[in-house]
Every structure is written in structure tokens, then in C-alpha cells.
Amino acid sequence: MPSSLSSVGLSLVIDEHMRWLTQWHRAAFFGRETGMLGADSVPMPQSFIQWMREAKAQALTPQPAVERLIALHEQLHRLARLMLMRVAADEILSLAAYEAVLDRYEEFIQLCRRFERAMSLAGSGIDPLTGLRNRTGLMEELGRETSRLRRSGRPFCLALCDLDRFKSVNDTYGHDAGDRVLMAASACIGGGIRDMDEAFRLGGEEILILLKDAELAQALGVLERLRADLAAQVVQLADGRSLQVTASFGLAEAHPDLEPEQLIERADQALYAAKHGGRNRVEAWKLSHAAALG
């Protein structure tokens, strides 16, 4: 996330909207007593407008989360103004209309705080959505393990994990459901690997697992346990529905003559075989995998 869209800016957005909500309540329920009547009696905070301009200038608005934040802000203030117009017209307010304003406000503030966390973590090497490590430092970590293998013979393996049919989750249930599934799967993997292992989110639904001090048989055991745990996990969605997803794993064992990029390529070939072998399975690299792609 670009540094100019700082967490300080969103902290100001949150603070201003908290003060705005207090004034809006006064206008909505005590408008005549306080003289705060009409749709414009409580001005909209301007800090988010400035944040949005910066987001557009840096081409962030096509991102789904940013688009959602902008849409929530627009909905919140449109519904809030509508209630104030009804107060000024002496109309009876409904509980549903009031709760709609509060629902948009709470979701807007929560999403602002998520962006705050993402910005504070940017550059730290931690993926803000999943809590796993991101690509930062990945190749250095693989380089260290490769050097250790060549120097002392200490084994290690590398696995690629890809959630099965993840695109259909987003298409059917929406991106919020996709985020929930990805967070739940990442938590399962992060909590299920051994203490010495590392998990990296490569992007989308693909996760790289570095299994240290592990030969192929031991790594297969770890991954098979992760695969079963993921398949058994139930993910609760915001609307009360639940989902279960599976994952496929491609595993490759390191060798002294392999460079890190080649090891990743082998794991990717094994993952391809796992996907085409029926999904929800662990596949270790074989020479035939490379031949099949060649």
C-alpha cells in the first residue's frame, strides 16, 4: 500500500466520523430542540473525500476493498441525510431506517481499521489479510536453506498449496466470503505447520510452505495432515451460511544441485498434477510431472 495513504489519514477519517455520528444522533432525535434541522444540518466530514482523491490518484480505486469502502461511505451519508430530511418533514422514523445507517457506519469504520492495519504492516513482510508472511524475504529464506543443505546436508522441502475452485467461491458468494475462506485456510495452515516451518502467501489463494529439516516422507505427513484439517474446516459467512473448501498441494524435495527457482518450479509441476488428479490431494514431484508439461 503506498505510504502517502497513511494510517494517520484513516485515523483522522475514523475520528471525524465518530464525532459526526454524535452530531447526527442529536439532529435525528433532537433536531427541533437543538435547531439542527434539514439534510445539511450535520455536514459530512471531509477527510475521507481527501483520502479518496489520493486513492484515485494512485490508481487504487479498482481494488475491490477500496471500492467497497467508497461505496459504504456514499451509502452511509445518503441514508443519514434521508433520515434528517424526514425529521425536518415531521415524518415518523422507522427502526429499519435507523439500523441501516448504523450498519453502514459500523462496516465503514471496521473496513477503515482494516486498512489501518494493512498500512502499518506494509513493508513488514506480513500479508495483512492472512497474517502469513508475504513474498518479502522469501527468496533470501530459500537461499539460506539451499546453502545450508549444500554445506551440511540438512534437508528441506517446499510445497505449494492452492485452494480448490476458489474462483467459484468469489463468483457465487462474493469477495467478502472469499476473504473469509482465505483467512480461515491461512489460519489453519499457519497453526498446523511445525514451529520451524514457514508459510508465505504468494498472492490470490496460493500459499508456499517451506518445510525445514524435513525429508520427503516427513513433509508428506505434515501436508497430508494440513489437507485433512482444511477439508474438515467449516467457514462461517457473514450472512449465516457456511462453506467447506479443500486444497491441493504440490511438494518438491530440495537437492544440492537445484536452485530455489527450480525447486519452486518442481513444486508447481506437482501442484498441477494434484489439480488434474482430482484435487484435495498431496502430490510429490516426479520426473514424469515435468515430462507431462514439456
Q: How far apart are the C-alpha atoms of 255 and 155, rounded to whole Å?
A: 8
Q: What is the dihedral angle through the alpha carbons of 46, 48, 54, 60, rounded to the nearest 10 degrees? A: -160
Q: List all residues 6 or more positions away from 100 whose beta carbon is below 8 Å from its beta carbon.
A: 79
Closest listed residue to residue 284, CA positions, set 107, 188, 152, 157: 157
End-to-end, the C-alpha distance of the chain in Å comes to: 38
The kind and range of the H/E element at 170 are helix 166-173
CA distances from 101 to 79, 96, 175, 210 (A): 6, 9, 22, 46
Which residue among 145, 205, 253, 283 is the active-site one? 205
Query: What's the grid cell of residue 255?
Result: 537437492
Closest listed residue to residue 142, CA positions, set 284, 227, 265, 269: 265
283: annotated active-site residue: no
**Residue 47 buriedness (CB in 10 A; 0-12 / 13-18 / 19+):** middle
Strand-pairing partners, residue 248, are 162
Cβ proximity of 230 and 185 under 8 Å: yes
List strand residue ranges (DSSP E) for the chain, in order: 156-163, 198-203, 206-212, 235-236, 242-243, 247-253, 282-284
What residues are annotated to the active site?
Answer: 205
